[in-house]
Structure 1
Amino acid sequence: MNRKSKLPKDTNQDKDKVTEWIVQEPTELMTELLNKLAKHGRNSVKSILARGQVSVEGKVSTKYNYPLQQGHRVTVHFGRVIEDIKFEGLKIIHEDQDIIVIHKEAGLLSIASPTEKELTAYRQLTEHVRRIDPKNRIFVVHRLDRDTSGLMLYAKNEETQQKLQNSWQESVLERSYVALVEGAVKKQAGTIKSWLKESKTLLMYSSHHPGDGQEAITHYKVLESNREYSLLEVQLETGRKNQIRVHMKDIGHPIVGDKKYGSRKNIIGRLGLHARVLAFQHPTTGETMRFETQIPGKLMRPFTSQ
């Protein structure tokens, strides 16, 4: 016998409004929510579920296919959001329906490698978006080396990924890094240009013969310096693999901790490279987006401990 479904009732009218009702027949949680909260729209309902604003019998659930039984009490707290996934090594700076901007810590891979398939930014963000819909995916737009910290951009659909990658040079308005390098850089500002190639041992290196490899252009200026170290602001005109690391080696000032490219010192216990600023034109709205992070304290250590 089909029972007439009881309408949800509002038990509070303030900003932490609570709506609850009793389930009348077995169904899945998302189906029930879409039925009872139809006026909010499908995407809003998905977000409400993903943010932990839904309880069944007093316990928070974020599973779209949670099996509801007749008699279950469903409660929606519109003003409450539980803590999201406990990310390791990353923090979401901005998210909308097309993109996610994160701050990645040094030591976390952007995507999986042959030796690390679980703990990556890609894997964690995939889990994050699938809290709303298990079919959701994350798409790689660009990468940061494992030991480089800072800002990264991911796409939430393939169309956005293609737009960004196809117009990367035009869409990206600013990519600014800070680099702690060995030695005192005498020239206060400069530009490094070469053509990057990769050796059989996967080491990137510069050729100064036009067209012999991928053109790479790096601009820098000195922010701080002493006899042993310099802190540089680095602007990328091109974004090649290991570009900054190779170019710092080329001018005789390898990045601190970068043994692969000639560093002999590591007083900070990490690679001295941080992606500080990322500005770009939003691929869907056309809006200019700009994000900036603080310089990591470790990169300032050689200049603050004196």
Structure 2
Amino acid sequence: MKQLDKENLYNILFIDNHLLVVNKSADFLTQGEEGTINLQDILKNDLKKKFQKKSVFLHALYRLDKPVSGILVFLRSQKALSRMNEDMRNKKINKKYLAVCENIFLEKEKVLENFLIHGSFKAKIVQKESANAKKAILKYKVLKEKNNLSLIEIDLITGRYHQIRAQLSNISHPVLGDKKYGSKKDFKKIALECVEISLIHPTLKEEKVFKIDSTLKF
């Protein structure tokens, strides 16, 4: 599979009339306020040029945090937006991440379940009864360990703001390089990537699986 050119913001993995799947590099917003540099606006401009149109429909199915790289799905039609949002609500879309975390996990495989609130600049784990708290669930599995670091695979069950970063930090395993959530070690970015997504195509009604090779060296 063609790998992401480090000089580029994105690499197209799949495109048709309803879906656009890309591999996003780190340090760019998925979406943003008007005037900000973000991938969705850049893709819109590139699609307008490619298809010689004055306007195009494009909406991110989910977001990746600015410092996170990996697979992003954009919807190119209102029909796709409606159907895929319903699939997201019904948890029919599966995402896998890889992360390098600090410290060695005592439990090599576990489901983490917490309640999060969306703060101004980071997520915070709170008690269930807290106002605006939302349930956050993920499953992790340790793949490799060395030098007091752990490579883990993550199945993201819910998709909350900064969920993976906050939940791993809460159990004393912050993502490598994620200073916002307690990492003490330097890294060129935060060591977290979305490496696989499986979904049902909104019109073809067949399963599509998209994968990338991780850039995390371990």
Calculate the TM-score normalised by the size of structure 1.
Answer: 0.64
Bigger CA radius of gyration: 1
Deviation at 1:176, TM superposition (A): 0.2
1:94 counterpart = 2:94: no
1:107 aligns with 2:37: no
In structure 2, distance between residues paired with 1:221 and 1:189: 4
1:265-276 → structure 2 map (5 Å cutoff): 265-266=185-186, 268-276=187-195
Shift of residue 159, structure 1, vs aligned partner: 2.8
CA gap of 1:168–1:211, structure 2 versus 1, over 3 A, is: farther
Secondary structure of the corresponding residue to residue 256 of structure 1 = coil
1:207 aligns with 2:126: yes
| Residue number in structure 2 paired with 1:141 | 61
Q: Deviations over 1:231-268 (max 9, x none)?
A: 100001111110100010111100011111111112x3
Larger RCO: 1 or 2 (CA < 8 Å, sep 6+): 2
| Aligned residue number for residue 159 of structure 1 | 79
Residues 193 and 112 from structure 1, CA distance in 2 versus in 1: closer, same or farther, beyond 3 angstroms? same
The letter of the residue matching 1:278 is I
Report the TM-score, using the length of structure 2 for normalisation.
0.89
CA shift, 1:127, in A, is 1.6
- Distance in 2, Cα, partners of 1:157 & 1:104: 21
Shift of 1:211: 7.3
Letter of the 2:63 partner, please give it: R
Query: Quick one: structure 1 residues 171 and 280, their matched pair in 2 at CA, closer, same or farther if it must change by over 3 Å?
Result: farther
Residue equivalent to 1:294 = 213
Q: 1:121 corresponds to which residue?
A: 39
Q: Would the aligned equivalents of 1:90 and 1:103 in 2 still touch at CA under 8 Å?
A: yes
Partner of residue 158, structure 2: 238
Does 1:182 pair with 2:102? yes
8 Å CA contact retained: 1:171, 1:281: no
Q: Once the 2 structures are TM-superposed, how far is the Cα of residue 96 of structure 1 from its aligned partner?
A: 0.4
Checking the alignment, whether the CA contact within 8 Å between 1:256 and 1:272 is kept in structure 2 is yes
SS for the counterpart of 2:90 is: helix
For these two proteins, the number of residue pairs brought into alignment is: 209
Structure 1 unaligned regions, length at least 5 = 1-86
Stretches of 4+ aligned residues off by more than 6 angstroms: none
Question: Aligned residues: percent identity?
Answer: 24
Query: 1:221-260 to 2 correspondence within 5 Å?
Result: 221-260=141-180
Unaligned runs of 5+ in 2: 1-6
Matched, 1:281 2:200: yes
Shift of 1:281: 0.7
Looking at structure 2, the residues matched to 145 and 128 of structure 1 have their Cα atoms a distance apart, in angstroms, of: 22
Aligned-partner residue type, residue 199 of structure 2: F
Mapped to 1, the partners of 2:17 and 2:83 lie a distance apart of 15
